[in-house]
Amino acid sequence: MLRLLILLCLAALPLRAEEVVLGLSADEVAITANFDGSELLVFGAVKREGPILDEPLEVIVTIAGPSAPLTVRRKEKKLGIWVNTDSVEVKEAPSFYAVATTGPLKEVLAQIEDLRHRISIPKAIRLVGASPNVSNPQSFSQAVIRIRKKNRSYQLLEGAVALDQQTLFRTSIQLPSNLTEGDYATRIFLTRNGYVVSEFETKIDVRKVGLERWLYNLSREQPMIYGLMSLAIAIAAGWGAAAAFQMLRRG
Amino acid sequence: MQIYLPIAEVSVNAFLLLGLGGLVGVLSGMFGVGGGFLMTPLLFFIGIPPAVAVATEANQIVASSFSGVLAHLRRKTVDLRMGTVLLIGGLIGAAMGVVVFNYLKSLGQVDLLVKLCYVVFLGIIGGMMFIESLNAIRNTRSGKAPKRKKHNWIHGLPLKMRFRTSGLYISVIPPLVVGVCVGVLAAIMGVGGGFIMVPAMIYLLGMPTKVVVGTSLFQIIFVTGFTTMLHATTNYTVDVALAVLLLIGGVIGAQVGTRIGTKLPAEQLRILLALMVLVVCFKLALDLLIMPSELYSIGAGGGH
């Protein structure tokens, strides 16, 4: 069955005239104790059978971190003080999302293709149907984008992809230091006239390693031991400082 | 130097954390407060997720309080008997407080209640202490003898106990009640409760200021230790890397603070604590009254 599927896929391939051959500066990012963000280089070439078409080719690169549901709350003034009133559940929002393109997103991507592939930042966030008594539910997802753009978790990098001879492309994306671990889906789209002509998908593995990994695992798997260890460290440090100061005073 | 925190999942400057720990540690040693009511908002400010900040802060307070208590024990300014009585009341109160907290959570708006609690309690306690210590300073300047402990209805209660370090011979009922009340508030407000406990011991129980600090710290160790275990086992939000950085600064700060504290006259110590409490109260009140620059906030999903 699987073989058959692969065969079918192979058979379908020649229909696509252009294909992406991708390179990544790293296909995994290791979060160590002194991790302070990382620069990711995405580069590649367009492989084609026939001659280059007249219509210019455009490239879109997206990287999406693991998605999680969110609650967004809005404050309102009640009795003179600012309190949280309305809230909206966001079903899925990536913890990190970057879109890099060769030109303005509106020009390189048609609206309908954006809807299909969920490429632009607003399309990458999924709202749950807000309760009818919440006014202006769209403003909640806009707020998520605004807040996350501010701390560089969401990035729209228009014109950041360099494309040479309609064949070689490259871009660099800055991963922030507040990275959550998981699979970071990386997608490359080739578009012509705003329509996607080819698509390529891979993933970057972002993982904690070493001490970070060990502490994280311990806190989830042996919370009792982890808690006692934290307390033991605290008591030892408190005692150590008291003893050291006592010696300083005497000596 | 940047450090990636494994549980908080953010990268922060290690020296900033050491400095913050040290600053709060000095205050902790000086006044016998855990410093949670100062540290937690500061951690929010540098981008630590609130749940991690609250839980890790409890762990850090264990260290600085323990360091402070050892310094006070050496000076014999810890009333262990009074501390134990307060602690028994405190744990009962904390258990009751958790029940109240969960009930309020089911009603929603628990954040607002916590903030209002802070503003009201910090305002009342800070204001009262400020006026009282100002009067005390004025009285000593003009040469009037300070009023000594009055005999009132509290001294008529049964179950009397001798607290030698504090120089008191009173019923165990008032300290127990104080312990329970502070425990309830501490659980609701998510702090050790030192800033409520210290004034309560001075003004309600009539303990000497010097003994109050050490005794309060003694009590805080157990309350925050209990809180740390609770957070570590139920919410997995204690970040040991963050705690270590904070507590290295904290324990050193606590030692320095204890030494400053014993050199300062009691009235000045109280007036400083009162001012600090009032500043935090003012800041929290402003947050509630002034329109925030960002009306929306993002929280973890699914929780209701």
Q: Rounded distance, CA B126 to CA B129, Å?
A: 5
Q: Among residues of chain A, what percentage have pLDDT more than 90? A: 10
User: What amino acid is encoded at B275 in this protein?
Assistant: L
pLDDT in single tens digits along all 304 residues of chain B:
788 888 888 888 889 999 988 888 888 778 767 677 778 778 877 878 777 887 888 888 888 888 878 888 888 888 888 888 888 888 888 778 777 777 776 665 666 777 787 788 888 878 887 888 888 888 877 765 555 555 566 666 667 777 777 777 778 888 888 888 888 877 776 666 777 788 788 878 888 877 888 888 888 888 888 878 877 887 788 888 898 888 888 888 888 888 887 787 777 777 887 888 888 888 878 877 877 777 787 776 554 4
Q: Rounded distance, CA A243 to CA A250, Å?
A: 11
Chain B CB contacts of A90 below 8 Å: 301
What token pair was written down for B290? 């002034």
Q: Rounded distance, CA A157 to CA A161, Å?
A: 8
User: Contact A60/A189 with Cβ under 8 angstroms?
Assistant: yes
Residue A209 at interface with chain B, using a CB cutoff of 8 Å: no
Mutate to test the interface with A, among B1, B4, B256 (most CBs of A within 10 A): B4
Find the length of chain B: 304
Nearest to B229 among A36, A147, A227 (CB): A227
Window A:216-235, CB contacts with B under 8 Å = 216, 219-220, 223-224, 226-231, 233-235
Residues with Cβ within 8 Å of A87's Cβ and at least 6 positions away in sequence, in order, are A71, A72, A73, A74, A134
Residue A30 at interface with chain B, using a CB cutoff of 8 Å: no
The DSSP symbol for A193 reads: T
Virtual CA dihedral for A138, A143, A144, A147, nearest 10 degrees? 170
User: Contact A154/A121 with Cβ under 8 angstroms?
Assistant: yes
| pTM for the predicted model, two decimal places | 0.73
What token pair was written down for A130? 């807000």
Closest Cα in chain A to B238: A227
Instruction: List the beta bridge partners of residue A21.
Output: A45
Q: Rounded distance, CA B53 to CA B48, Å?
A: 6
* Contact at CB, B63 and A208, closer than 8 angstroms: no
Chain A CB contacts of B295 below 8 Å: 74-76, 143
At residue A240's C-alpha, the angle toward residues A236 and A243, to 5°, is 140
Q: Rounded distance, CA B115 to CA A65, Å?
A: 34
Closest Cα in chain B, distance from residue A214 (Å): 9
* Contact at CB, A239 and B70, closer than 8 angstroms: yes
H helices of A56-137, in order, are 105-108, 111-117, 121-124
Residue B10 at interface with chain A, using a CB cutoff of 8 Å: yes
Window B:218-237, CB contacts with A under 8 Å = 225, 228-229, 231-233, 236
- pLDDT of A210 reads 83
Q: What is the ipTM of this complex?
A: 0.77
Nearest to A34 among B4, B6, B292 (CB): B4
